[in-house]
Amino acid sequence: MKRPRLRSFPSPSEELGCYKAQDLIGNLPDECISHVFSFLPSHSDRCSCAAVSRRWLLLQALQATPAAAGDDGAATRRFHSHKANDARLAAMAVGSCWRRAPTEIFIRASSMEAPGVSSLMAVTDLGLAIISHACPSLRSLSLWNCVLIGDEGLAAVAGGCPELEKLDVSNAPKLGDGGLIAVAAGCRRLSMLRLEMCPGVGDGALRAFAEFSLNLESIAIGSCPLVGDAGFVSVFSSSLPKLSKVRIVDAAVGDGALAAIGDRGERTALGFLSLSLDNVWGFTHLGFRRLAMAATLRSLELRSCRGLTDACFFATGGESAAAARREAAFVGLRNLTLRRSSLTDGGLVRLSETAEKLESLELEKCHEVTTEGLMAAVRSWSRSLRALSLVKCNGVGGAPLGGRGMVPGRCPLLRSLTINGCPRVGDEFLSSLGRELVRPKRMALVGLCSVTDGGFVSLMAAMQRRDGLRSVDLSGCRRITDWSVAALVSGASEALKRLALEGCDGVTDRSLRLIGLLCPALVELDLSRCKRIGDGGVAGLLASSSTAAAGPSCRSGSRLEVLSLEGCSGITDESLGSLEEMALRGNLAGLNLKHCGGLSAAAVDSVRRTLWWCDLIS
């Protein structure tokens, strides 16, 4: 008979594997583990435990006691792309135990969440709950492309962050009215609200803000299809005492909403100061003329508004001209921006007759406005207009009908002139416009292929005073040559600080010598893609600057801080010595040498080592 075989004891490795398989601590419920964590003596021990696993990290984040925010300014945390997830927010919360909790959080996640990814690798309601627990002094919260957040997360923020002042939510398809109603009721200090691409948000949320957010100063609503006239009217007709800035994008705005704005504007203490309507529809000329009654309106921006026509500024058949003038007043308007509008000369002239105190006019892609209408409107605003901007307006250009120009000195306050990409603008138009300029400070003539030296020289000659010009941009004016540069620097030499000649093929080394000699205050010079600039011009710029600064009242060296020679194929290694001397003796701190085919890489690297403080781009 065989003796029974004795059973051997398990080896240490087998015993350890048995314990590992059981994972005794991992099987404990969250409440028990949190209770164990409460006995840890220091914050560093808790941070060490949080690094063990994501589960422990989340438990520590929800258990963490945040440090005081302090009075040494706002602390900002930013989470971008793959770093925008609940795990990162939990790590921030654990760190706030011994470090000051942030008061501003900006989250910009990826617009597309990959399927099957762990919830910890995206921002969800859990992440917002962590923020509410760790940042009780939070004042600003931006949530961009956080597609998994919903009402529960924002409700947690409302309950834990009562000092919230700014809320910016963009592309949150799961968000509804519930979370925003909680924010309106719990965050009474809210002053700025921006909601964009939130298809679940409707009129209920706006009604809540109109009722509770008495400190609201700015509101922007865009691409929220459930928000209608009822929501807008509830905000505009409310007694929010500080609301002054409104922006509406991609929405149906009816006559009722515009009428509410006009009625509010009649109450001077509660009127809006700034209104922006971008790609809105649904209103008629009757509603717009009610909007015009807002006497407190100071800034108005209208972009791609389908209902905006000349009828918005004219009386209908049964109304007198005096009644139309009273309705379409805009008596307090100072800044007007029209983009992609079908407004014609008649509407612009009518507006100029009513909004008599306009200071800034910007027209972009308003192709129905012609030179005659623009001239007539400028005459009406002659005593108040300070800035005029024309961008890609195909109807503007050429001299007025009959060759009649405007009266010289008609706009004594005009300080800024911008004409960008208007194909019909040529020498005649500039000559006529030059008579309006008394003492401009900023002038940008960009992409005007029809303008030649004759037109620009006539413009400069027509100005009563040129010594106040501080910034001139002639980029893209390919027919401009050294004659125009000479006319500019001879009259505006002392005050000129910024000059851009990008793409001006006719500019040569002579212009650089004149600039260096006559513009001692120049700080920024852009010569990108000036193909006729060579080594002689760079050397002349340095020599002329040194000669101009040799007087007893000027310090040695050039004041030039930024110089761009991008795409100047005539520049070779010979110019690098002049550029080094310009940086060593002067204030040159930014240098752009990209796409300069005549420069060798070794020479550029040598200059970079010598000028280690200079921001050199090559």
Per-residue HEC secondary structure of 283-309 comes to CCHHHHHHHCCCCCCCEEEEECCCCCC
What does the pLDDT look like over 114-142, one tens digit per residue?
555 556 678 999 999 999 988 889 999 99
Residue 203 has pLDDT above 50, yes or no: yes
* Predicted confidence (pLDDT) at residue 480 exceeds the cutoff of 70: yes
pLDDT given at position 298: 92
Can you give the pLDDT at residue 23? 63
What is the pLDDT, as a whole number, of residue 543?
Answer: 74
CB 546 within 8 A of CB 582: no
Write the DSSP string, 17-69: HHHHHH-TTTTS-HHHHHHHHTT--SHHHHHHHHTT-HHHHHHHHHH--PPP-
What b/e sequence results for 407-438 when a residue is b if at least 16 CB atoms lie within 10 Å of its CB, and e otherwise? Answer: eeebbeebbbbbbbbbeebbbbbbbbbbbbbb
Domains of the chain: 55-65+75-243 (3.80.10.10), 472-618 (3.80.10.10)
Tell me the per-residue pLDDT of 560-571, one tens digit each, with 9 for 90 and over: 999 999 999 999
Residue 367 pLDDT > 90, yes or no? yes
Q: What is the pTM of this model?
A: 0.84
DSSP structural state of residue 82: G
Element (H, E) at 180: helix 177-186
Which residues partner with 471 through β-bridges?
Answer: 442, 498
- Residue whose pair of structure tokens reads 């050397």 in the numeric block: 539
**Mean pLDDT across the chain, nearest whole number?**
84
pLDDT tens profile 261-283: 888 877 655 667 899 999 999 99
Q: What is the pLDDT of residue 67?
A: 52
**Is the pLDDT reported for residue 15 higher than 70?**
no
pLDDT 10s digits, 136-159: 899 999 999 999 999 999 999 999
Q: In the predicted model, is pLDDT for residue 325 greater than 60?
A: no
What is the pLDDT confidence band of residue 503, given thresholds at 50, 70 and 90? very high
Q: Which residues pair with 445 in a beta bridge?
A: 419
Burial 472-494 (b: 16+ CB within 10 A, else e): bbbbbbebbbbbbbbbbbebbbe
> Rounded to an integer, what distance in angstroms lies between the CA atom of residue 221 and that of residue 224?
7
Between 1-15, 77-91, 207-221, 467-481, the lowest mean confidence (pLDDT) is in 1-15
Amino acid 12: pLDDT: 46
pLDDT at residue 103, rounded to an integer: 92
Cα(first)–Cα(last) distance of the chain, in Å?
Answer: 93
pLDDT at 462: 82
For position 553, what pLDDT does the model report? 43
Q: With 90 as the cut, is the pLDDT of residue 300 above it?
A: yes
Q: Which residues contact 316 (CB under 8 A, 6 or more apart)?
A: 285
Give the CA angle between residues 541, 543, 544 to the nearest 5°.
65
CA atoms within a 13 Å half-sphere pointing along the CA-CB vector of 541:
30
- Share in percent of the chain as helix, strand, coil (round to 5): 35, 15, 45
Q: Do the Cβ atoms of 253 and 224 come closer than 8 Å?
A: no
Question: For the ranges 43-47, 406-410, 500-504, which has the lowest average pLDDT?
Answer: 406-410
Mean pLDDT of 459-472: 85
- Quick one: pLDDT band at residue 461, thresholds 50, 70, 90? confident
Q: Which of 175-189, 298-312, 454-468 has the lowest mean pLDDT?
A: 454-468
List phi, psi (to 5°) of 477.
-85, 85
Would the pLDDT of 81 be above 90? no
**Per-residue confidence band for 111, with pLDDT thresholds at 50, 70 and 90:** low
Q: What angle do CA 70, 74, 78 make, to 5 degrees?
A: 125
d(CA 235, CA 264): 10
Which tops the pLDDT comparison, 550 or 230? 230
- C-beta separation of 312 from 336 below 8 A: no
CA atoms of 598 and 586, how far apart (whole Å): 25
Tell me, what DSSP letter sits at residue 497?
-
Question: HSE on the CB side for 41, CA within 13 Å?
Answer: 0
pLDDT of residue 401: 56
Question: What phi, psi does 487 have (nearest 5°)?
Answer: -65, -35
